[in-house]
Amino acid sequence: MKEVKKLLQPIQSYHLKQKFPKAAPQPFLKPGEVDLTLLYELEYSPGLTFNKLKAQLLNSGVVSYVEPVYIPEILKMPNDPLADSLTGAQYYLKNIKAYKGWDIQQGDSSVVIGVLDTGINLKHEDLQDKIKYNYADPINGVDDDKDGYVDNFYGWDMADNDNDPSADANTHGILVSGVIAAAANNGKGVTGVGYNCKLLPLKVFQSKAKGSFAGYEAIVYAADHGCKVINISWGSPGFNSAYEQDIINYAVINKNVVVVAAGGNTNGDLDFYPASYDNVISVTSTDGSDNRFFSHTYSNKIDVLAPGVGIWTTGARNNEYTYAGGTSFAAPIVAGAAALVFKQFPNYTAQQVAEQLRITADDIYQRPANTPFLERLGRGRLNIYRALTEINTKSVRNIQNQFSKGNSLMAGDTLRITGTFLNLLSPTSNLKITLSSTSPYVTILQKEYVAGALATRNAATNTDQAFVIYIHPDIPLNSSINFRYGFSDGSYNDYQYFKVAANPDFLTININNLGVSITSKGNIGYNGLDYQQGDGVFYKKGNPLLAEGGLMIGASPGRVTDNIRNHLLESDNNYYQVAPVRFLPNPKFADIAAQGAIQDSFPAANVAGVRVTHRAYAWKDAPNHKFVVLEYKITNNTLSPFQDLYAGMFTDWDIDGAFRNAADWDPVHNMGYAYNVDRRNVYAGIKLLSDLPATHYAIDNLYGPLENISLSDGFSDAKKYRALSNPPDKNQKAGLNGQGNDVSDVTGARIAYLAPGESITVAFAILAGDNLEDLQRSATEAKARYMQVKSSPVPYVQNDTICPGSPTVISPENGSKFRFYADNARKTLLGTGLRYVTPKLNTNTTYYVSNTDSLYESSLVPVMVAVEKPQVAFNYTPAPETLALNGLINFADQTPNAVSWHWYFGDKGESRAKAPVIQYQQPGNYQVKLVVTDNKGCVDSLTNTIRIKYLNYSNNWQASDFLVYPNPTPDQLFIRVPENIDVSSPVTLEVINLIGEVVKHQTITTTGLHNLRLAGVAKGMYVLQIRGKDGVYRQKFQHL
């Protein structure tokens, strides 16, 4: 406890004591057992809220839970005999089959029932012989049995801490005691259900001014002093305490004690504690006709019913008897029965005794008054005879559930439920377990688990047959889903309910070293001061770093919007939800992202008048693994402009405890941060990411300078506005000049002007690091990453080509707001908007374009505007020394991107075709001019001279057409074929000897010079024959 005491040192007045100083340490705990030596009670002076103190203690890492002490109510009902038609008779003994049960088992003094109530009449004629007197510690002023209680002969007054458990004016405990254990067979008064069993009176409600309620201390006392059953006829609705559940578990599991509790006297379906805790037999009541009594509690947590109307029992005076009613008197009937069952089955555990009582109860749901409350009145009405005689009963209980996505069931989730099931009584052979729910927001996709054979006190887990459920997307926020397990094995049928919170109004980003809960009320860590709503802020899965945090927006000292504590030390709750915070599917710029929307209650006078869309981003890997980005898009919801609006993050840091912290400002990184002055192993802070004027205030929550803001008397709107608007060069530090203190920090930004309906984005990073340098590195990385995320998309723009002396329009895509620069240094801005019109250009020019759609301007994209005229080209066929077919020449344009043509052919006229055909009448040289317009509208021309040597092919070959040489020749002939010879059909060159044989041949397909090699041809005289479709030419030659 050294760490806890160190945390408490700054509190001016407190008292810390071990709750159960007499308890022995439990070094080896079995599942479910509790070590009472770890429980402490703290009293402290005002000045620190319970929620704040709770957060500080939990953040120490050595405290499991912190809870206030509540005083429950005694469950009363008027002692009016007229309330029951069976005046004077203990009718309920017949209803519960007590007489038949007593024939089987009457109990004895070895079974003690602890009665934790308002006390007892030690001299009542029907009670004085039923008290379990402690003969080991008689009344002599000495603690003879050395149990820490002096002279606890009759029991103990736990509330006033003395040895007299006698009742004061409140006789409730006397009435309860008579129901449980009034003497049997003494010829007086009434008979207690426990018959021969003894009772231990423990007074738990104080009679003295300095006393205090001690119900749970009494549970420990009773369990430690030999009680086998404890009766609790008090309680209250609504509050589920981990401490109280621990005490129950200690009695039932550590000490093997049956705990029975009254289910409540409120006509409603509600949880009532301690009756609704695990391991407690919860009892509600019937009337004399086995009908549920109309004014008593019902719920799925009820285990059994017992009569609770017109219960005849011992009264206040020594020989008085009276009627009583309520679940306060149904519970002791069951407690007495539990004592008999414990005696009948001495090897049963407390849990088995409880289940034997529950499972053998009589089903009375067929009665019309009970039918509407099916499975909300427990298994049935108590039947002692069955509980004592039935030995083949079966009872399976669900003792644990695990969800595949943790305990936060979110809208749209599909998840698996793995349950552990314990068989407490007789073995099963073919056990089937079915999951169901009446919630319209849940679909059970896999509902059955076949456990089969299960031995007594053995457990089974459906790991391989997990239940699968789907949570509908439209489930309301902060819902509670009621699930039902149905158990069946032959004739055995049973049920059990459990509740699960679903679709909470927060989510936790926990994918890197920094975990942060984000709520739908503008808070981080927790939802204001509600520590049930959120997992906190934690670094490297360590202890929570933050007691309270969230967005504050101030328009003036009287108009501040936030969900931070106020001057009453309560959450301001100025925001209401527009859209719940939820994870975004497949975020584009982050590994995980979430978004929600909130709005204040404008036109209420004390709020700023804003609507806020908030987002959070996080990344898994280094160097972005130690921060979460928090982004707020703030919209002016008023009809007037904001002048100097302030938005900032409030953070009440509790790093390794609350009272040894310091806060500071880093002007280089625009970051407020905090650390523990003793350890300095974790630093945490808030960095302003937006390019806005920063504000900052480091706050000593307690004991700071009088002129500075302090939170000891609350946090008013005026203080909040002062912190939000504070210049960063003032109030930079907190922490009592390095000594350490409970500190808070406000890091914000000034928004100079915001018109009605307009929005501005303010972004922060919440960061943590191992030291200041590490934190500053994360601050730098956070800024870089955020700029990358929020940079506008890079525009897409095509290069252009224009005609000399023409302007052009640059029209980028992938955005709506662009900037156009003359240089890549952004020094010369030419224009903004959707497009830019250039001046007339005669040279190639490069422009630079950026996108400004988002928070940060995108990178520049160069745009080349090329100034070009058309590259005019054309060809014609036949060419180059053209042989026109009947004088026809085919012209064709070869100019890129041409869209129009104008040909000039001299005396042959003009043409606007792309590929005209012109007929010439005479050979000769002719000029041809082509004027082209391209797709940019640019015009240029080209003039060429063409030569027509022949008008057509020769079809009457003459010797003058061919040139053959040398003749004679030693090895080859050269043959020139003129252009007017048509070689489109092959022309054959043949060498023929004197007897007419072709000894060599060659085919040609072009005009011009060809050679014919005579290798292999014998020496002698030959004829060269040139043969084609238009003629034949022969010439003799000699081969030497």
Q: Given CATH 1.10.287, say whether it is the number of domain 800-867.
A: no
Cis previous bond, 880, omega within 30: yes
pLDDT in tens, 598-640: 999 999 889 999 999 999 999 999 999 999 999 999 999 999 9
Contact 249, 216 (CB under 8 A): no
DSSP code for 857: P
Query: Of 892, 808, 881, 880, which is closest to residue 847 (Cα–Cα)?
Result: 808
Residue 666 has pLDDT above 70, yes or no: yes
Residue 668 has pLDDT above 60, yes or no: yes
Query: Of 820, 777, 516, which is closest to residue 671 (Cα–Cα)?
Result: 777
State how far the Cα of 667 lies from the Cα of 669, in Å rounded to an integer: 5
Return the bridge partners of 676, or none. 661
State how far the Cα of 420 lies from the Cα of 161, in Å rounded to an integer: 42
**In angstroms, how far is CA 507 from the centroid of its own chain?**
4
Kind and range of the H or E element at 230? Answer: strand 229-232
Residues forming the active site: 117, 172, 328
Residue 13 has pLDDT above 60, yes or no: no
State how far the Cα of 639 lies from the Cα of 755, in Å rounded to an integer: 8
Query: Of 30, 73, 35, which is closest to residue 220 (Cα–Cα)?
Result: 35
Residue 80 has pLDDT above 60, yes or no: no
Using DSSP's 3-state secondary structure scheme, residue 959 falls into: helix
More confident residue, 53 or 217: 217
DSSP string, 510-530: -SSSEEEEEETTSBBSSBTTB
pLDDT in tens, 556-598: 999 999 999 999 888 999 998 999 999 998 998 899 999 999 9
More confident residue, 78 or 959: 959
Neighbouring C-alpha atoms within 13 Å toward the C-beta of 178:
27
Query: Of 444, 503, 445, which is closest to residue 475 (Cα–Cα)?
Result: 503
State how far the Cα of 854 lies from the Cα of 849, in Å rounded to an integer: 15
User: At 334, is the pLDDT very low, low, confident or very high (cuts 50, 70, 90)?
Assistant: very high
State how far the Cα of 881 lies from the Cα of 883, in Å rounded to an integer: 7
Amino acid at residue number 160: D
The Cα-based distances of 439 to 401, 408, 498 in angstroms read: 18, 17, 13
User: At 81, is the pLDDT very low, low, confident or very high (cuts 50, 70, 90)?
Assistant: very low
Contact 297, 267 (CB under 8 A): yes
Q: Which fold has domain 959-1039?
A: Immunoglobulin-like (2.60.40)
Residue 84 has pLDDT above 70, yes or no: no
State how far the Cα of 636 lies from the Cα of 854, in Å rounded to an integer: 19
pLDDT in tens, 837-882: 999 999 999 999 999 988 889 999 999 999 988 889 999 887 755 5
Q: Which residues lie below 8 Å from residue 366, measured CB to CB, with a gap of 6+?
A: none
State how far the Cα of 628 lies from the Cα of 651, in Å rounded to an integer: 15
Lowest mean pLDDT segment, chosen from 19-28, 507-516, 524-533, 764-773: 19-28
Residue 86 has pLDDT above 50, yes or no: no
Place of tokens 């009449």: 121
Query: Which pair of tokens denotes residue 831?
Result: 């224009």
Question: Checking phi first, is residue 409 left (phi over 0); if not, alpha (psi -120 to 50) or beta?
Answer: beta
Cis previous bond, 966, omega within 30: yes
Q: Which fold has domain 73-389?
A: Rossmann fold (3.40.50)
Residue 83 has pLDDT above 70, yes or no: no
Residue 671 has pLDDT above 50, yes or no: yes
DSSP code for 345: S
Locate the DSSP E strands across 361-441: 396-407, 414-423, 428-437
Query: Of 207, 182, 34, 196, which is closest to residue 117 (Cα–Cα)?
Result: 207
Q: Which residues lie below 8 Å from residue 986, measured CB to CB, with a gap of 6+?
A: 1003, 1004, 1005, 1028
764 class by beta-carbon count within 10 Å (0-12 exposed, 13-18 middle, 19+ buried): buried
CA angle 753, 756, 761 (to 5 degrees): 55
Neighbouring C-alpha atoms within 13 Å toward the C-beta of 965:
3
User: At 56, is the pLDDT very low, low, confident or very high (cuts 50, 70, 90)?
Assistant: low
pLDDT of residue 854: 84
State how far the Cα of 723 lies from the Cα of 663, in Å rounded to an integer: 14
Q: Given CATH 2.60.40.10, say whether it is the number of domain 874-950.
A: yes
Residue 274 has pLDDT above 80, yes or no: yes
Using DSSP's 3-state secondary structure scheme, residue 54 falls into: helix
Percent of the chain with pLDDT over 90: 73
Instruction: For 805, list phi and psi in degrees, rounded to 5.
Output: 80, 15
Q: Given CATH 3.30.70.150, say whether it is the number of domain 396-502.
A: no
Percent of the chain with pLDDT over 70: 94
Contact 235, 274 (CB under 8 A): yes
State how far the Cα of 752 lies from the Cα of 731, in Å rounded to an integer: 22
pLDDT of residue 59: 61
Q: Which residues of the chain form CATH 2.70.98.10?
A: 506-790
Contact 154, 122 (CB under 8 A): yes
Q: Which residues lie below 8 Å from residue 406, measured CB to CB, with a gap of 6+?
A: none
Q: What do you get for the CA distance between the two ends of the chain, in Å?
A: 128
pLDDT of residue 67: 73
Average pLDDT over residues 936-953: 86
State how far the Cα of 1021 lies from the Cα of 115, in Å rounded to an integer: 149
pLDDT of residue 983: 83
Place of tokens 């006709």: 289
Query: Of 566, 654, 659, which is closest to residue 12 (Cα–Cα)?
Result: 659
pLDDT, averaged across the chain: 91
More confident residue, 1018 or 71: 1018
Q: State whether the Cα torsion 802-807-813-819 is positive or negative.
A: positive
pLDDT of residue 924: 84
Amino acid at residue number 872: V
Q: Which fold has domain 506-790?
A: Beta-galactosidase; Chain A, domain 5 (2.70.98)
Residue 49 has pLDDT above 80, yes or no: no
Average pLDDT over residues 108-116: 96
Query: Which pair of tokens denotes residue 17?
Result: 């004591």
State how far the Cα of 130 lies from the Cα of 142, in Å rounded to an integer: 24
CB atoms within 10 A of CB 79: 16
Q: Which residues of the chain form CATH 3.40.50.200?
A: 73-389
Average pLDDT over residues 252-258: 96
State how far the Cα of 884 lies from the Cα of 889, in Å rounded to an integer: 6
DSSP code for 23: P
Residue 491 has pLDDT above 70, yes or no: yes
DSSP string, 62-73: S-S--------E
Verdict on whether the full-model pTM lies above 0.75: no
Lowest mean pLDDT segment, chosen from 35-49, 773-787, 972-986: 35-49
Residue 77 has pLDDT above 50, yes or no: no
pLDDT in tens, 200-239: 999 999 988 777 889 999 999 999 999 999 999 999 987 7
Q: Which residues of the chain form CATH 2.60.40.10?
A: 396-502, 874-950
Query: Of 749, 737, 730, 725, which is closest to residue 670 (Cα–Cα)?
Result: 749
Locate the DSSP E strands across 412-491: 414-423, 428-437, 442-446, 448-454, 459-461, 467-471, 479-489
pLDDT in tens, 722-767: 999 999 999 999 998 888 999 999 999 999 999 999 999 999 999 9
State how far the Cα of 709 lies from the Cα of 723, in Å rounded to an integer: 8
Instruction: For 352, list phi and psi in degrees, rounded to 5.
Output: -70, -40
